[in-house]
Amino acid sequence: MREPLKKKNTNGYRLVHGENDGLPGLVIDRYAETLVIKLYTPAWIPHLQDICSALTSFKHLILRLSRSLNKQTKYLHGLTDGMTLTLQTPESLILFKENGFTFECDPINGQKTGFFLDQRENRERVKKISKGKTVLNVFSYTGGFSIYAADGGAKEIVSVDFSTPAIQATLRNIEHNKHLPDVKAAKFETITKDAFEVLAEMKENNRKFDIVILDPPMFAQNQSQIETALSAYRKLTQLGLNALKPNGILVQASCSSRVDADSFFDAVHRSAIEAGRPLQEIERTGHALDHPMTFKEGAYLKCLFAIAP
């Protein structure tokens, strides 16, 4: 299933996608010669040695534990979050390839397993529409969308994230790809601040872009937070549209599995109509091929590409 990625100069991808690959509670992500094994249930701990034995062709194996599992110390038998399961200790920052770009990931301190691999194909879509454009990348994390936009010919890219380490990684990722002419030529700006505050300031300063990317973290951790999450998506849509030029492109995503696709897309559209800018859809997208969906409830990633008049 993942074989096509090799032809795209990619060695960063999800090797095992939990329930969707028939292995509930187990995720394995590849970053070059390092694998990050993330467990969401203690049921896998008796089988951890067998898992490692099956992965001996890789240089480094790192264990990550979900927040809930990390608290269940009586089941861990001395295992700790972030420990190395192989003899050699990997570098703290790992470089890997995605569609020919070089990115770094911090598998121990970074979000998820160090990088948002599931947005790979959406990043490629952004690259294709970025030529000559100005781009605002909100919740930019380590700058994945920003690098793709630059290589697509964007003339200016602003990356916004609350996390200082994420913004520092963005700057390093830019340097990792400066050998690419369009990345070298692009003007980059980074802002380390709350995304909602930045978008409000953009409105006050009447600063607008050709493309606005909104890729927030999970807004709904459980069923009781769905309405709050939908409200946050609506607010984010309106703030994003305030920073979008007429006939610009809005790219808005949700990774909240509790919020179904219909509810998410409906919330975005309703908010745009209320803002007086009804959206003209380009396409709706979902998961990258290394994040297969084999049951309805497993579909967490939704993304909308649309023109706002």
Mind telling me the catalytic residues?
A: 255
Q: Are 144 and 116 in contact (CB under 8 A)?
A: yes
DSSP state of 43: G
Residue (of 207, 298, 283) closest to 251 by Cα position = 283
Q: Are β-strands 302-308 and 244-254 bridged in parallel, bridged antiparallel, or unpaired?
A: antiparallel
Long-range Cβ contacts of 4-12 (<8 Å, 24+ apart): 4/289, 5/289, 5/290, 8/99, 8/100, 9/97, 9/99, 9/100, 10/97, 10/98, 10/99, 10/100, 10/120, 11/96, 11/97, 12/96, 12/97, 12/98, 12/103, 12/105, 12/115, 12/117
Q: Are 251 and 189 in contact (CB under 8 A)?
A: no
Enumerate the β-bridge partners of residue 154: none
Q: Burial, 100: exposed, middle or buried (Cβ in 10 Å; 0-12, 13-18, 19+)?
A: exposed
**Residue at 152: amino acid letter:** G
Cα distance between residue 96 and residue 100, in whole Å = 9
Question: Which residue do the tokens 């000559």 mark?
Answer: 132
Q: Are 231 and 252 in contact (CB under 8 A)?
A: no
